[in-house]
Amino acid sequence: MSITITVSNQKGGVGKTTTSAALASGIGITGKKVLGIDLDPQGNLGFCLGGGRESQHTILDVLNGSVPVQEALVEGETCDLLVSDISLSSNGLEHIPGRREYILKNAIAPIVGQYDYVIIDTPPALNLLTVNAYSVSDHLIIPMASDILSLVGLAQLKETIESVRSSFNPNLNVLGILLNRFNKRTLLSRDVLDMANQLAEQIGSKVFDTKIRAGVAIAEAPAHGESIFTYNIRSGAVLDYLEFIREIAPSIDLELNKEESDNG
């Protein structure tokens, strides 16, 4: 049975796609079979994971029933992918009959059992695409940049999570809040950490012990067509992501071989 993890924050620029790509590739290099799903119209997850931008079909074709999900699969470096592009921004899903909140769940049902893990990257908005991701997920990870603006709007995210739990997916588990571009030496980062801890308590979750430092290798890896783990394993930020995967492994039943991960 597959485990589905959604990475979500309604604010852009918080490391959402980078975190999704790190999870998909980091779990993939352990030998697990992973499916990455890009629900962001910017389409960056497929690019980060080696899926390219010239795919014949996108996730929108699957969601609106134009093609079977099997025909839309793209092979990435460490996982399979369902990619997206700008057409997803005007998706028209609200016109599809039936329970619109389960469109994604129904669309991927024929293949989801083939994977150990499904990682979903969401748009920087709380819309129907995001609700579909929450409705199909076991776990939710909330990335945040270490600045005050990243806290704005998280109260609305809390309301969305509670609404999905009450109406569509009572088992949705918020694994935690992940702080990106974190510098423990600055007062700002420490203040954001304190406020993030308060928010996490309100949603019955936590701030992850692992914090992700800023690192140029994170931005450079996609341009070289590589996973962050193969591009520069010595980067502090890349090592942080490895530690993050180790931290969440017990919560998502991931059997992580430390030596394999270190050699990634």
Q: Give me the CATH number covering residue 39.
A: 3.40.50.300
* Residue 261 in domain: no
The secondary structure of the chain as a DSSP string is --EEEEE--SSSSSSHHHHHHHHHHHHHTTT--EEEEE--TT-HHHHHTT--S--S--HHHHHTTSS-HHHH-EE-SSSEEE---GGGGG--GGGSSS-GGGHHHHHHHHHHTT-SEEEEE--SS-SHHHHHHHHH-SEEEEEEESSGGGGTTHHHHHHHHHHHHHHT-TT-EEEEEEEES--TTSHHHHHHHHHHHHHHHHTT--B-S--PPP-HHHHHHHHTT--HHHH-TT-HHHHHHHHHHHHHTTTTT----HHHHHT-
- Match 């980060």 to its residue by tokens: 48
- Describe the crossing of helices 103-112 and 128-136 by its angle, rounded to 10 degrees: 40
The total domain count for the chain is 1
* Residue 256 in domain: no
* Residue 257 in domain: no
Instruction: Return the structure tokens found at 25.
Output: 């590739």
Q: Domain containing 18: what range? A: 3-251
* Residue 151 in domain: yes
* Residue 263 in domain: no
pLDDT of residue 146: 82
* Residue 258 in domain: no
pLDDT of residue 259: 46
pLDDT in tens, the chain (264 residues): 899 999 999 888 888 999 999 999 999 999 999 999 999 999 899 888 887 655 579 999 999 999 999 999 999 889 999 999 998 887 778 778 778 999 999 999 999 999 999 999 999 888 999 999 999 999 999 999 888 777 776 778 888 899 999 999 999 999 999 999 888 888 888 888 998 898 888 888 999 999 999 888 888 888 877 888 888 888 899 999 999 999 999 999 998 765 444 544
Global confidence as pTM = 0.92
Pairwise CA distance, residues 264 & 231, whole Å? 10
* Residue 187 in domain: yes
* Residue 259 in domain: no
Instruction: Return the structure tokens found at 28.
Output: 């993939």
